[in-house]
Amino acid sequence: MIAIVDYGVGNLFSLASSFKMIGADVTVTSNKDEIRNCNKIILPGVGAFGDAIEKLRADGLDETIISEAKSGKDIMGICLGMQMLFEKSFEYGEYRGLGLLSGEIVPMEGKIPASLKIPHIGWNALHFKKESRLLKYIKENDCVYFVHSYYAENCRSSLVATAEYGKEITAIVQNGNVFGCQFHPEKSGSVGLNILKAFCEEEK
Amino acid sequence: MITKRIIPCLDVKNGRVVKGVNFEGLNDVASPVELAKYYSDNGADELVFYDITASFEGRKLFTDILTEVASKIFIPLTVGGGINTVEDFDRVLKCGADKVSVNSGAIKDPGLIEEAAKKYGNQCVVISVDAKRVDGVFRVFSKGGRVNTGMDAIEWIKFCVDSGAGEVVLNSIDTDGVKKGFDIEMLRKVLEVVNVPVIASGGAGTIGDFIELFKKLPTVDAGLAASIFHFGEVKIKDLKNELHKNGINVRL
């Protein structure tokens, strides 16, 4: 069973549907025991970093996620959920993240040519940087759907794939059992479903 | 780099897609779910569902269908039609919409965009504008393009984006239905004043019209059309292959 952590941010209908589509058992929950009893965890998220991490902490779900990740359970953050896995974010201030991945979240503004629109919205191609289970069923240049204005920088060895948008933008990260996608796999057609399918499998 | 998007628009009335012909492998051309799946499988980058129902029952049917579409189709979904309040945003977002398109609702209540953008984020709010030349000025029309509001379209769009709209759909009434190409002149004016994605609508008749759109306006983000896709005059796969051959970056 896969737990999609529900902490009151955004709509999880499409995400839950996409897992059902690939035949995975999924539960949308804010219950800590239920999260602990699942064998994989998805951390979703939309909106602003500060609000989201505050909501996660208010319910104490941050500690559950950190301890489960440290025990070796597979966890994947999606969009803002991926950003929260990092050490800190500079979105409207400075906020501490969950610290499961090293690196920080910074604005695209000023880092990409002014002619490019922000947010980065639309389908963009993936470029692979290192091997990861998540890439098992997809290929270089496959497109996925992005919607974001901030991105992860200094990811070092966890960087799996990037997208080109005036500069290399972090798209997929993995460090051991901790995974993240900046884009929305649940909105990225068959490519996205194939990434979720690979996440649902076990590491060989 | 980011790809140019091709977006079919589906008008839904009483739970059925209005207009359309049969495609190979499609049993029910008026089924929103079947048609959405067909487009998604054949290269559509996004789908727009437009609710043209007026009745309460029809509206309920629309959200039921939207839920079914969102549980089976995994590309971005934009929903428009009958969006007048933040509650309307809530109603369609809960059913799996990713973006909500506002047109007359924002003309009636210009505060709606800011309110919705604050609650759901700018990326969620799309301002859709029907515009037409009147004595050399682009004017905003309401009620499905029937009533001249007297508002300057370029100023109105700028106001909406400043209020938090994250995307603009510009439908030119002058070119709509004529099938002689998009309204390049009107689109250019809009692209000059906003820095959010702009979706061109109205006028596409051939693949060449899309090539012209993206060549003449490199900063336009997407082309939207309805009947040419529904009637099979242009197949999205062929369109994207041709765009690719012409050096336009698309998702193949």
Per-residue pLDDT reduced to its tens digit, B27-51: 677 889 999 999 999 999 999 999 9
Output the DSSP codes for A116-184: S-SSEEEEEE-EE-S--GGGTT--TT-EEEEEESEEEE--GGGEEEEEESSSEEEEEEEETTEEEESS-
CATH code of B227's domain: 3.20.20.70
Structural domain contains residue B147: yes
Of the candidates A38, A79, A181, A200, the residue annotated as catalytic is: A79
Q: Which helix (H) or strand (E) holds B49?
A: strand B47-51
- Is the pLDDT at B24 greater than 90? The verdict is no
- Is the pLDDT at B191 greater than 90? The verdict is yes
Whether residue A41 contacts residue A71, with contact meaning beta carbons closer than 8 Å, is answered with: no
Residue B164 three-state SS: coil
A50 to A45, A104, A142, B7, B246: CA distances (angstroms): 12, 14, 32, 34, 44
Q: What is the mean pLDDT of residues A119-140?
A: 97
What residue has token string 């955004």?
A10
Tokens of A59: 């319910």
Which chain B residue has its CA at the smallest distance from A126's CA?
B1
Structural domain contains residue B16: yes
Give the pLDDT of residue B21. 63
**Nearest Cα residue to B92 out of B65, B117, B115:** B65
Structural domain contains residue B177: yes
Can you give the three-state secondary structure of B187-234, one letter per residue? HHHHHHHCCCCEEEECCCCCHHHHHHHHHHCCCCCEEEECHHHHCCCC
Residue B75 three-state SS: coil
> B40 CA to chain A: closest CA distance, Å?
8
Range of the domain at B65: 5-245
- Of B67, B72, B196, which has the smallest distance from its Cβ to A117's Cβ? B196
Structural domain contains residue B123: yes
Give the pLDDT of residue B31. 86
B76–A164 CB contact, under 8 Å: no
Establish, for the pair of chains A and B, how many residue pairs have beta carbons separated by less than 8 Å.
79
**pLDDT over 90, % of chain A:** 91
Residue B178 three-state SS: coil
- Residue A11 — very low, low, confident or very high, per pLDDT cuts 50/70/90? confident
- Is the pLDDT at A148 greater than 90? The verdict is yes
DSSP annotation of B24: T
Give the pLDDT of residue B20. 60
- Residue B52 — very low, low, confident or very high, per pLDDT cuts 50/70/90? confident
φ/ψ of B239, rounded to 5, equals -55, -50
Which chain A residue has its CA at the smallest distance from B42's CA?
A189
**Cα dihedral value B113, B119, B122, B126, nearest 10:** -50
Q: How far apart are CA A100 and CA A124, in angstroms?
A: 26
- Is the pLDDT at B26 greater than 80? The verdict is no
CATH number assigned to the domain covering A2-200: 3.40.50.880
Q: How many domains does chain B have?
A: 1
Give the pLDDT of residue A124. 98
Whether residue A137 contacts residue A154, with contact meaning beta carbons closer than 8 Å, is answered with: no
A186 is annotated as an active-site residue: yes
Give the pLDDT of residue A9. 76
**Nearest Cα residue to A101 out of A175, A177, A5:** A175
Q: How far apart are CA B18 and CA A41, in angstroms?
A: 42
B75–A145 CB contact, under 8 Å: yes
Please tell me chain A's helix, strand, coil percentages from 3-state DSSP, rounded to the nearest 5.
Answer: 30, 30, 40
pLDDT tens for each residue of B103-154: 999 999 999 999 999 888 888 999 999 999 999 999 999 988 889 999 999 9
For chain A, the domains span 2-200
Average pLDDT over chain B reads 92
Q: How far apart are CA A46 and CA B208, in angstroms?
A: 38
Mutate to test the interface with B, among A20, A117, A186 (most CBs of B within 10 A): A117
Give the pLDDT of residue A40. 98
Tokens of B162: 């400043």
Structural domain contains residue B144: yes
Give residues with Cβ within 8 angstroms of B225, minimum separation 6: B7, B8, B9, B201, B204, B234
Edge-first strand listing for the sheet containing A2-5: A26-29, A2-5, A40-43, A74-78, A178-181, A168-175, A159-164, A127-128
Q: What is the mean pLDDT of residues A135-147?
A: 97
Interface membership of B76 toward A (CB under 8 Å): yes
Give the pLDDT of residue B230. 87
Tokens of B11: 């008008």
> B146 CA to chain A: closest CA distance, Å?
32
Structural domain contains residue B251: no
pLDDT tens for each residue of B216-229: 999 999 999 998 99
Contacts 24+ apart (CB under 8 A), B175-180: B175/B202, B175/B203, B176/B145, B176/B201, B176/B202, B176/B203, B177/B202, B178/B203, B178/B205, B179/B203, B179/B204, B179/B205, B179/B206, B179/B209, B179/B228, B180/B205, B180/B209
Q: How far apart are CA A1 and CA A13, in angstroms?
A: 17
| Predicted complex ipTM | 0.91
- Is the pLDDT at A96 greater than 80? The verdict is yes
**Nearest Cα residue to B228 out of B44, B4, B63:** B44
Tell me the whole-structure pTM to 2 decimals. 0.94
Tokens of A177: 């059992």
Average pLDDT over chain A reads 95
Q: What is the mean pLDDT of residues A30-50?
A: 94
